[in-house]
Amino acid sequence: MGIGIGLPAVHPDPDMSIVDWARRAEERGFAALGTTDRLVYDTYEPLTALATAAGATSRIRLITTILLAPLRANHALFAKSTATFDRLSGGRLVLGLAPGTREDDYSASGVDFRRRGKLFDALLEQATQQWQGQGGIGPHPATAGGPPLLFGGFTKPALRRMTTYGRGWIGGAQGVDNFRAFLPRVRQAWQDAGKAGAPRLVATAHFSLGPDAEQRLHSRLANYYTSGTYTRESIEAGLSTPEEVAREVAAYAEAGCDELIFFPHGGGLEQVDLLADAVGL
């Protein structure tokens, strides 16, 4: 199972260098750098943050887990931007996509929250065609056919998008039990669609390590998850000791996860080394 680490992009410390973080993560052997996505919150824009990290690294993959795709209302521009990113990063971009559940992000964008599913489908159709060279809009992505797509969500439309356009599924940071419980539906949908092989399974988790880690983690998660279906589960699933991290890695590996990405909450650059030590890198 691959282990990734998120960028310090949620309520970011202005003195924290994403360049230093990305370089250290690559040096310590992490497989990927991840970002989350909110609009109405103090977060870095995901593709911009990952592009900064891409310029400072050469090997580590760059994954959005997840990007709120329907907010990118200019679908041709989205396809061009992500193809450019993929080309300039040497084919390291992986796009984890979902519509999101917070209406305030859509209200602030002037995008109809009730139409987000239809907008998402239209974006996927435009982007995949454009990445394949249709419509005369370049550049061609480094990855043939476009960056690999993963889809988040626990709904039938999420599974439909996964089997139509995707390489796999991303589970939210609500703990391994939630992840494990949905896997039969993911695998059955993949099989029913006649897809070859098996879907790639990616999971996410929240962590903070070192002095005062539990207090720091709980405070930040409680602020971030002010509402939503999985608010309590997400807060309770946060990891604040090396032992908890190690147990989580073992549990996800046993469940069949292909890659687990840990998102930091507070602390400094030492969090990269503390997590690397906890997972055995």
Q: Cα dist. 215→29, 50, 140, 188, 219 in Å?
A: 28, 28, 46, 40, 6
Domain count of the fold of the chain? 1
Q: How confident is the model at residue 237 (pLDDT cuts 50, 70, 90)?
A: confident
pLDDT at position 100: 93
Q: What is the arithmetic mean of pLDDT over 51-57? A: 98
The reported pLDDT for the residue numbered 230 is 58
Whether the bond into 139 is cis, omega within 30 of 0: yes
Residue 236 has pLDDT above 90, yes or no: no
Domain span including residue 168: 2-279
Q: Sorting pLDDT into bands at 50, 70 and 90, what band is 18?
A: very high
pLDDT averaged over every residue in the chain: 95
Question: Which of 149-153, 179-183, 221-225, 268-272 is least confident?
Answer: 221-225
**pTM score of the predicted model:** 0.95
Any bridge partners for residue 97, and if so which?
Answer: 67, 151
In this predicted structure, the answer to whether residue 229 has a pLDDT above a threshold of 60 is no
- Degrees to nearest 5, angle at CA 32 with 167 and 82: 60
The two most distant CA atoms of the chain are separated, in Å, by 54
What CATH code is carried by the domain that includes residue 7? 3.20.20.30
Q: Does residue 233 carry a pLDDT above 80?
A: no
Residue 18, both tokens: 């994403």
